[in-house]
C-alpha cells in the first residue's frame, strides 16, 4: 500500500523482545525498563499482525529486538512468518553472540539473511563498547553464517566509541570475506542522543584512500536505505547508511512494531498505534485498519538534524533499530 507521499510501504521490522545480552553504550544502557512477559506479543499474535500486513502489501519482514536470539524459540517464529502468503523475505538482525548456536535452526526455518551488529574486531575495544567479552563468539557466528551461504551483513554504527583501527579492521573484513560491511550514522535516539556520531562520508573517503576508488555497486543487496560500493580487490561490498547527512526518507518503505505490539511509522517520533488490545480482542479487521492508519499517518521525513524536534524517548533496543 502507498502512503500519502506515494511511497510503497512493504517492509515491517518486528521487535520480539526489549531484552539484550549486551549493553552497547549507545543502544541499551543499564536500567532499561523491560516489557513484562505477559505484555509481549506471542509468536501467534506476531504472525497474525504479519498476515494482516501482508494483505496490505507488506512483503519483507525483519526480526529484531533487543536481542532477538535471546527469546526462546525464535527460529519457530521465522518459519511461521515465512509461510505467510505474500511474504518474500524474512531476515534477522542480531548482535551475533548466540548466532553460531542458533544458525542451523534459523536456516532450517528458511531465514533469508542475517545482519550482525559489530563495531570492532579488537577484543579489548569490544568489551569497552558492549560490556561483555563475547567477540570470539560473534566472529564464530559471522564465519558460520558466511560459510552457510546465507546473505550476511555487518552493521557498524559510527559513534564516538569507534576509532580508526575499528573501522579499518571491519573494512578489511569486507575485503577478505563475501559479506557486506555497512557504516551507519548514529541517530540521536535514546542513549544515541548523548553520544557524538560522525559522518560515514569521512570514513568512506579514508577507506578509498587506503584501498582505491570505489564503484557504485548496483546489485540488489536488500530492502533498506543503504548505498553499496565495490572497492578494488574486495570480495564483499561496503555499504553506507547515511541516516543523518543523507535524507533518505523519500524512499522510506518501512513500519516498525515493538515487542509489546506498538506500530510505529517513523523512528524519530514517539507516535504509536497500539495493536495488542486489538489482537487480544480478536478483531482482525481492526488490526488491518490500524495498519492502514499507520501508513496514512506516516510523516514525510525524520528531523534528526534538529534534535529538539525528535520526540522519541525510547532506547533503540526498545524500538528495534
Q: Tell me the window of 3-11, 87-95, 272-280, 298-306 that interacts with ligand SAM (CB under 6 A).
A: 87-95
- The residue number with the shortest CB distance to ligand SAM is 192
Binding string, residues 104-143; x marks residues near ligand SAM by CB under 6 A: -------------x--------------------------
Residues in contact with ligand SAM, counted by CB under 6 A, come to a total of 21
Instruction: List C-alpha distances in Å: 142 to 13, 25, 121, 162, 310.
Output: 22, 22, 12, 20, 34
Strand pairing category for 215-216 and 227-230: antiparallel
CB of 293 to ligand SAM, least distance (A): 25
- Are 78 and 108 within 8 A, CB to CB? no
Cell numbers standing for residue 183: 557504516
Confirm or reject binding of residue 189 to ligand SAM (CB under 6 A): yes
Binding ligand SAM (rule: CB under 6 A), the pick from 20, 106, 154, 238 is: 20
Confirm or reject binding of residue 27 to ligand SAM (CB under 6 A): yes
Confirm or reject binding of residue 239 to ligand SAM (CB under 6 A): no
Confirm or reject binding of residue 65 to ligand SAM (CB under 6 A): yes
Q: CB-hemisphere CA count at 13 Å for 287? A: 25
Confirm or reject binding of residue 222 to ligand SAM (CB under 6 A): no
Binding string, residues 66-85; x marks residues near ligand SAM by CB under 6 A: -x------------------
206: helix, coil or strand?
Answer: helix
Confirm or reject binding of residue 203 to ligand SAM (CB under 6 A): no
DSSP per residue, 43-84: HHHHHHHHHHHHHTT--EEEEESS-GGGSTTHHHHHHHHHTS
Q: Packing angle between helix 74-82 and helix 99-108, nearest 10 degrees?
A: 30
Calculate Rg over the CA atoms of the chain: 19
Q: Minimal CA–CA distance to 75: which of 104, 41, 101, 106? A: 106
Q: Which is nearer to ligand SAM, 251 or 280 (CB)?
A: 251
CB of 176 to ligand SAM, least distance (A): 21
Confirm or reject binding of residue 91 to ligand SAM (CB under 6 A): no
Cell numbers standing for residue 123: 577484543
Cell numbers standing for residue 127: 568489551
Instruction: Give the separation between CA 111 and CA 81, rounded to whole angstroms.
Output: 10
Confirm or reject binding of residue 155 to ligand SAM (CB under 6 A): yes
Confirm or reject binding of residue 192 to ligand SAM (CB under 6 A): yes
Q: CB-hemisphere CA count at 13 Å for 65? A: 27
Binding ligand SAM (rule: CB under 6 A), the pick from 17, 64, 120, 130 is: 64
Q: Tell me the window of 47-55, 81-89, 184-192, 280-288 that interacts with ligand SAM (CB under 6 A).
A: 184-192
CB of 273 to ligand SAM, least distance (A): 21
Instruction: Give the separation between CA 151 and CA 140, rounded to whole angstroms.
Output: 16
| Site residues for ligand SAM per CB under 6 A | 20, 26-27, 64-65, 67, 93-95, 117, 155, 157, 184, 186-187, 189, 192, 316-317, 320-321
Amino acid at each position: 500500500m502507498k502512503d500519502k507521499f506515494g511511497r510503497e510501504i512493504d517492509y515491517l521490522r518486528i521487535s520480539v523482545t526489549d531484552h539484550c545480552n549486551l549493553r552497547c553504550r549507545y543502544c541499551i544502557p543499564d536500567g532499561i525498563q523491560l516489557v513484562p512477559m505477559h505484555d509481549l506479543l506471542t509468536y501467534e499474535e506476531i504472525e497474525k499482525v504479519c498476515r494482516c500486513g501482508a494483505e496490505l502489501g507488506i512483503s519483507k519482514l525483519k526480526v529484531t529486538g533487543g536481542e532477538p536470539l535471546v527469546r526462546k524459540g525464535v527460529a519457530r517464529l521465522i518459519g511461521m512468518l515465512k509461510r505467510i502468503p505474500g511474504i518474500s523475505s524474512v531476515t534477522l538482525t542480531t548482535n551475533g553472540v548466540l548466532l553460531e548456536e542458533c544458525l542451523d535452526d534459523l536456516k532450517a526455518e528458511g531465514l533469508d539473511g542475517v545482519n550482525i551488529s559489530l563495531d570492532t574486531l579488537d577484543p579489548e575495544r569490544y568489551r569497552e563498547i558492549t560490556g561483555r567479552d563475547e567477540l570470539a563468539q560473534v566472529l564464530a557466528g559471522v564465519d558460520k553464517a558466511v560459510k552457510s551461504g546465507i546473505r550476511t551483513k555487518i552493521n557498524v554504527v559510527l559513534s564516538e566509541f569507534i576509532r580508526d583501527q575499528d573501522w579499518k579492521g571491519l573494512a578489511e573484513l569486507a575485503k577478505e570475506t563475501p559479506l557486506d560491511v555497512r557504516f551507519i550514522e548514529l541517530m540521536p535516539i535514546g542513549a544515541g542522543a548523548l553520544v557524538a556520531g560522525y559522518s560515514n562520508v569521512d570514513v568512506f573517503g579514508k577507506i578509498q584512500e587506503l584501498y582505491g576508488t570505489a564503484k557504485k555497486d548496483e546489485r540488489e543487496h536488500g530492502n533498506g536505505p543503504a548505498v553499496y560500493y565495490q572497492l578494488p580487490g574486495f570480495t564483499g561490498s561496503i555499504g553506507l547508511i547515511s541516516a543523518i547527512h543523507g535524507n533518505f526518507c523519500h524512499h522510506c518503505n518501512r513500519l516498525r512494531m515493538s515487542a509489546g505490539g506498538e506500530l510505529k511509522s517513523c523512528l524519530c517520533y514517539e507516535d504509536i498505534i497500539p495493536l495488542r488490545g486489538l489482537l487480544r480482542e480478536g478483531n482482525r479487521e481492526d488490526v488491518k485498519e490500524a495498519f492502514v492508519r499507520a501508513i496514512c499517518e506516516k510523516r514525510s521525513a525524520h528531523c534528526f538534524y534538529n534534535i529538539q524536534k525528535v520526540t522519541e524517548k525510547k532506547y533503540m533496543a526498545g524500538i528495534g533499530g
